[in-house]
């Protein structure tokens, strides 16, 4: 076969891995037991690798929070000294088998949702939402306070054990059926998980009521589950990440396996290039702010790994499934459909598992191909939150992955596979 034929064959394997993936929630375990390389004095963060001094304030604060949370330092000054000494190892989440939404701060003691792709045996860990009161909290916003630390302890020791008991009794809960149905009910599964939350919580509630545990613990656990918005978001990220890991290092494939930002740079990975990063300045998201007091001067360039779902055909790729999300940016149903149709032009194929009524029951595109991005000039869309430079969400919108990432990746690919 010539090079083009080898690429096409490899890309077919890559999208088959994604389409045939079978993500199942199987357990809840401490991060240190399941994430590769997450040892003592190690902190995971979102986005491409970056030095502490180059990090945005939210990530620097997250590093300090991690030291305080794990008891490695007694105060902020000690934490900074510890980090500056080089004792703290910092790892990019998408260089491991996890995914970091927002700041993506993860340390060994954080309780994690474990998702296994039954088609490959690959396991991924994602952190659960921290409840209504703290929401982004420690992992998502890099915050620390005694109250946040106590909430994480309560989650680990009281809220999550009943959920773990249910999932283990059932032998795992498949996620693909939930994703598939929610796409027909208005979710694009990045910014919006309203339908997925409803389906998921309905599925698990009766099993929780059957548990033989103290009544108050059951009430507390169910309150945490039911009242937490976008609870399913971490499950969608885990499902996408598990599918992407099956393609890392796949020779000759030009399919994208990772996309993320750290507030300074945005980076992508490509199957045939293994774990090599291709980076460009992080882009700004465009959308509606939660208050008129906010302007672009308050906003941070894209921060987080949650856009890994776009690699699996969700979020910005699935705009047609959720016009209400596009309406946040003042777009119409027609605009939402066009966005997904444009994404078809940069993808290898369509995923027959995910059907969308607004596409006249056509399927969502999947498998971002760096060749097609460069050839068409169409930068892939991602959906997601807009972060305040001081922390917290100030809106939701859309951004386009920088073309520079794809150009760099394609040049490196051509050099590696020249014949």
| Backbone torsions φ then ψ of 312, nearest 5 degrees | -95, 10
**pLDDT at residue 391 in the model:** 81
- pLDDT at residue number 86: 95
Give me the residue spans of the domains in the chain: 25-237, 247-416
Q: By percentage, how much of the chain surpasses pLDDT 70?
A: 100
- Provide the CATH topology of domain 247-416: v583 fold (3.90.1700)
| Residue 407 to residue 404: CA distance in whole angstroms | 5
Q: Fold identical between 25-237 and 247-416? A: no
Global confidence as pTM: 0.95
Q: How far is CA 300 from CA 53, 214, 334, in A?
A: 17, 44, 29
Residue ranges of the chain whose pLDDT lies below 70? none
Contact between 83 and 52 under an 8 Å Cβ cutoff? The reply is yes
| pLDDT of 393 | 84
Query: Domain 25-237 belongs to what topology?
Result: Enterococcus faecalis V583 fold (3.90.1710)
For 183-211, the pLDDT digits (tens) are 999 999 999 999 999 999 999 999 999 99
Main-chain phi, psi angles of 125, to 5 degrees: -115, 135
pLDDT in tens, 33-72: 999 999 999 999 999 999 999 999 999 999 999 999 999 9
């Amino acid at each position: 076969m010539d090079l083009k034929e080898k690429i096409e064959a490899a890309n077919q394997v890559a999208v088959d891995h994604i389409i045939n993936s079978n993500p199942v929630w199987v357990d809840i375990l401490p991060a240190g037991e399941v994430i590769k390389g997450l040892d003592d004095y190690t902190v995971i963060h979102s986005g491409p690798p970056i030095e502490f001094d180059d990090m945005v304030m939210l990530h620097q604060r997250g590093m300090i929070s991690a030291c305080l949370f794990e008891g490695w330092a007694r105060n902020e000054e000690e934490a900074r000294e510890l980090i500056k000494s080089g004792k703290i190892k910092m790892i990019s989440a998408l260089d491991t088998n996890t995914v970091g939404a927002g700041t993506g701060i993860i340390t060994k003691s954080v309780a994690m949702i474990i998702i296994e792709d039954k088609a490959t045996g690959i396991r991924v860990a994602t952190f659960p939402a921290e409840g209504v009161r703290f929401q982004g909290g420690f992992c998502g916003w890099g915050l620390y306070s005694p109250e946040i630390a106590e909430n994480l302890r309560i989650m680990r020791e009281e809220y999550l054990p009943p959920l773990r008991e249910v999932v283990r009794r059932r032998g795992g809960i498949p996620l693909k059926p939930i994703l598939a149905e929610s796409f027909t009910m208005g979710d694009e599964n990045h910014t919006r998980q309203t339908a997925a939350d409803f389906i998921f919580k309905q599925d698990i509630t009766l099993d929780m009521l059957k548990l033989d545990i103290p009544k108050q613990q059951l009430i507390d656990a169910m309150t945490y589950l039911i009242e937490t918005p976008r609870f399913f978001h971490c499950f969608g990220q885990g499902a996408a990440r598990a599918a992407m890991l099956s393609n890392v290092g796949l020779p000759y494939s030009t399919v994208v396996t990772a996309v993320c930002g750290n507030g300074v740079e945005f980076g992508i990975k490509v199957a045939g290039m293994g774990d090599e990063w291709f980076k460009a300045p992080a882009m700004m998201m465009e959308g509606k702010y939660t208050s008129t007091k906010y302007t672009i001067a308050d906003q941070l360039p894209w921060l987080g790994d949650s856009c890994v779902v776009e690699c699996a055909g969700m979020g910005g790729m699935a705009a047609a499934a959720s016009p209400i999300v596009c309406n946040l940016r003042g777009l119409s149903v027609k605009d939402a459909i066009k966005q997904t149709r444009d994404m078809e032009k940069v993808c290898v194929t369509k995923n027959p598992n995910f059907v969308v009524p607004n596409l006249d029951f056509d399927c969502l595109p999947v498998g971002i191909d760096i060749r097609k991005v460069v050839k068409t000039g169409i930068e892939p869309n991602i959906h997601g939150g807009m972060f305040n430079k001081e922390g917290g969400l100030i809106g939701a919108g859309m951004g386009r992955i920088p073309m520079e990432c794809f150009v760099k990746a394609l040049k490196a690919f051509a050099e590696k596979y020249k014949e």
